[in-house]
Structure 1
């Protein structure tokens, strides 16, 4: 493998991830995120300051130490926002595919722009699966919740759909914020227009990351929001998942 001069700014690594794509996975969390989600449980990933720099070769060398455990899994890159380091991400996936590694991108598409289509086209050549976070279907509520519009995120979803890239929706269910019947039905109507979703994961909001905000000296605004009840989770699943036309098994 040729030596790459591109370095990734790495936040952390999970060597036995079971929740970020199919099978057991090596999960690389990259440093830096352009979104400012009020419920973020990894507040320490926002900064773009240098944390740990790693080359593509170093990441794959580390991956290969555990490769025997990843027979039905692979490599997932998350964040922060993985596409904030698009050049490194693309090079990593390109080299991973040469080694027969299943590649998965966990993203909120915070950096997608139509002016960058060619860069993203290159990335998805080497991407087997996308885990796409849609935080809120309502644009104004999305701006309040994340500090950014959802326009480009939805355009990215459409970009993936047109190119038939297998995608799993990830939706953090926040009571009183994005859990209403109206918003859930709007989201369902939107994803029904897409042709590539192979799964829908509803992720119940939790408060496990509040201590990180406090440790960093930041106020956590959503402390008053309760975790969703099982009834609310079941309600959301009934709207988003029932009879979903592209739901498939065995990704």
Structure 2
């Protein structure tokens, strides 16, 4: 199917991102997500029917104007969300178009993949870097934190390892939810022998999306949770890095 006949549903765009992959990146936040993380700063991206429809050529028209800024230092595009993997066919066609312009591709995902169809395989093949968000390795806590099991994210991490796909792991440090020592050991143990993982990035929890929860008339359960201290971040970094991977925050 030609790319100009496929539409994607997007939430928003950031044209000059510097923290979602290598170099400077054009980031497309896709609409729709099946996880409902308590700390999500874009809960308005959950609705699968919201956002605006675009075609690959429409998206590329603007991206090409940024090309001189994106190409240095492995810069390029990042598919984020919401959850971009829910629109795998569109993202694959978009990534193909970006590769034709010598732009690198990055998939920022929570790994919610129920079946490994040809669409998923093609998407992974067109992806230069996967940033996989592992929310919590303790499944009971994961269910409470996101609303679903972590089994799909774990399976996807193993799939990336099997295919030797270049991967960064992201782990959000939420006091009372993911900042405990046993959880840090679980993450370190799970990723210990995954040679495809270049680094593990610890992201401190923040309150920047709270106002969106109130606007959507949703209960925000983390109002009283403060960002983790530097001491907490350093302690978790030390534990996880003891399993052999580079860990930053």
TM over 0.5: yes
Q: Is the CA contact (8 Å cut-off) linking 2:189 and 2:243 kept in structure 1?
A: no
**What is the TM-score of this pair, normalised by structure 2?**
0.94
Q: Is the CA contact (8 Å cut-off) linking 2:28 and 2:78 kept in structure 1?
A: yes
1:83 to 76, 82, 85: 85
Q: CA RMSD in A?
A: 1.4
Aligned counterpart, 1:183: 183
Q: Partners of 2:101 and 2:132 in 1: how far apart?
A: 25
Q: Partners of 1:240 and 1:187 in 2: how far apart?
A: 7
Matches within 5 A, 1:1-251: 4-70=4-70, 71-72=72-73, 73-110=75-112, 112-113=113-114, 115-242=115-242, 244-245=244-245, 247=246
- Secondary structure at the residue paired with 2:4? coil
Structure 1 runs not aligned, ≥5 long: none
Q: Partners of 1:241 and 1:130 in 2: how far apart?
A: 20
Q: Is the CA contact (8 Å cut-off) linking 2:105 and 2:129 kept in structure 1?
A: yes
- Secondary structure at the residue paired with 1:96? helix
Q: Is the CA contact (8 Å cut-off) linking 1:33 and 1:47 kept in structure 2?
A: yes
Q: Residues 195-227 of structure 1, C-alpha deviation per residue, up to 9 Å, x if partnerless? A: 210011100001111011011111101112221
Structure 2 runs not aligned, ≥5 long: none
- Secondary structure at the residue paired with 2:54? strand
**What is the TM-score of this pair, normalised by structure 1?**
0.93
Q: Partners of 1:56 and 1:119 in 2: how far apart?
A: 17
Q: Partners of 1:146 and 1:8 in 2: how far apart?
A: 25
- Secondary structure at the residue paired with 2:120? helix
Q: Partners of 2:56 and 2:145 in 1: how far apart?
A: 34
